[in-house]
Amino acid sequence: MTGIVKPVVLRLAASVVVLWGAATATFFLLQATPGRTVDVLLARTQAGPEVRAQIVADYRLDDSLPTQYLTYLERLVTGDFGSSYVLRRPVVDAIGGQLPYSLQLIAATLVLTVIASALLAVVSANRRRWVQSSFDAIESLVVAVPPFWLGLVLMGVFSFTLRWLPAIGATSPLGLVLPAVALAAAPIAVLTRVLREGVLHALTEPFALTARSRGLSEVALRTRHVLRHAALPATALLGWIAGSLIGGAVIIEIVFARPGVGRLMLSAVQNKDMPVVTGVVLLAAAVFVVVTILVDLASRVIDPRVRG
């Protein structure tokens, strides 16, 4: 048990540094973008000087940069993420309202990616040259297709023409299908390739010969033994994919009119809405930290050698 606790504690300590770095980088990067915050906030409005003064005073935008930074850090440490300048509501509410939808989409995308790529890898791990090259070609094509375009095509076919699935805004499980497929396509292609390499390699190992000689069927050999060997690099890759989806699903969220953290982040950056940007960045950083820890733990389960 202690074998697991120590690396987790170390990870958590390191993650505090990661979060501080993310918060600091966000603060200074946003400060470095052109235009004063109050001007960007008031672009395309008809606000008078009184309102301008009120906004500067409320958000303390006229404080010096070091003062603003220290106040900012102090508030973050005490768990006060502040209120959105634009949405005029607490950041925790603004993100909390969108997070469940993002998590649903990420979970669906990951499950789809794992199942599909495992199946495809087992099936496509074939010595015959034409089988491999056709899978290679299809995988390259899928990776090259932009997700929003794939999303629109899927929508046109399965929603507008066949009318099997809802196209927009559906927060039901059925509405999750098309966005998840659009998002999962490229990860499936990448992961299948990684898994297949592993499977092909493992099939040449002595243990595969032993298993075959024991009379184990080819299917059983591949699913029970070989896949496990191939899973180690794939797990690390999967962790990275999961982390990038938290804010990276924005285009798919827009195309399918799905609520989500990505859309929140996009408009917050455009509007220099510092509290929301900070909140989302810290959330994404936290997700990366958690996912990395989970990947580490998963690796230990998959491959006993890692534990040593």
Partner 1 sequence: MRRMLIGLALVALAAVPSCAAAQGAAAQGPPRPGGTLRLAIEDEPECLDPHQSPTEAARLLDRPLVDPLVHQDDKGVLRPWLATHWTVSADRLTYTFTLRPDVRFSDGTPFDAAAVVANLDHVVAPATKSLLAASLISAYRASTVLDAHTVRVQLSEPDSTFLAALATTSLGMESPRTLRQDPATLCANIVGTGPFVSHDGLQPQQGISYVRNPGYAWAPEGAGHAGPAYLDGVDVQFVPDDAARYGALTSGQVDAIMSVSPTEERELGASPGFLLRTKAFPGINYSYWPNTASGPFADPSVRKAFQVGVDWPQIVRNVYFGTRQVARGVLSPTTPGFDRSVAKNYVVDPALAGRLLDRAGWTGRDSAGYRTKDGVRLRLRHLWSDPSIEDLAVQVQASARQLGIETVEQNVDGGTFVKSLLAGDYDLLDTSFSAAGPNVLQVMFDAANIPTEERGIANNVSRYDQSDIQADLVGALAARDQDEQHRIYGAVQQRISADVAVFPVYSDMATVGARDGVGGIAFDNEATPDFYRIWLAS
- Residue from 2, 46, 78, 204 touching partner 1 (CB under 8 A): that is 46
Q: CB nearer to partner 1: give 155 or 189.
A: 155
- Nearest approach in angstroms of CB 183 to partner 1 is 15
Contact, 202 vs 208, CB < 8 A? yes
How near is the Cβ of 233 to partner 1 at its closest, in Å? Answer: 34
3-state secondary structure of 53: helix
Residues ≥6 apart with Cβ < 8 Å to 158: 164, 165, 178
Count of residues in contact with partner 1, rule CB under 8 A? 63
Q: Is 161 in the site for partner 1 (CB under 8 A)?
A: yes
Please give the residues from 60 up to 89 whose contact with partner 1 meets the rule CB under 8 A. Answer: 83, 86-89
- Chain-centre distance of CA 148, in angstroms? 16
Q: Does 172 bind partner 1 (CB under 8 A)?
A: no
Minimum CB–partner distance for residue 104 and partner 1 (Å): 13
Beta partners for 90? 83
What would the two tokens of residue 236 be? 């690390």
Among 24, 54, 67, 210, interactor with partner 1 by CB under 8 A: 54
Q: Are 122 and 203 in contact (CB under 8 A)?
A: no
Of 272, 281, 288, 291, which lies in the binding site for partner 1, with binding defined by CB under 8 A? 272
Interface with partner 1, residue 38, by CB under 8 A: yes
Residue pair 241/201 in contact (Cβ under 8 Å)? The answer is no
| Other Cβ atoms closer than 10 A to 251 | 18
Instruction: With CA atoms as reference, report the closest residue to 250 among 224, 269, 230.
Output: 269
Rounded CA-CA distance 265/287 in Å is 15
Provide the 3-class DSSP secondary structure of residue 76: helix
Q: Is 190 in the site for partner 1 (CB under 8 A)?
A: no
- Interaction between residue 147 and partner 1 (CB under 8 A): no
Answer whether 147's CB lies under 8 Å from 182's CB: yes
Per CB under 8 A, the list member of 25, 111, 220, 257 interacting with partner 1 is 257
Cβ contacts of residue 288 below 8 Å, gap of 6+? Answer: 18, 243
Residue 174 as a binder of partner 1 (CB under 8 A): the answer is no
> Could you say which of 22, 76, 94, 289 contacts partner 1 (CB under 8 A)?
94
Q: Is 158 in the site for partner 1 (CB under 8 A)?
A: no
29 binds partner 1, rule: CB under 8 A: no
Q: Which residues bind partner 1 (CB under 8 A)?
A: 33-36, 38-40, 42-55, 58, 83, 86-90, 94, 97-98, 101, 148-149, 152-153, 155-156, 159-161, 163, 166-169, 171, 251, 253-260, 263-264, 266-267, 270-272
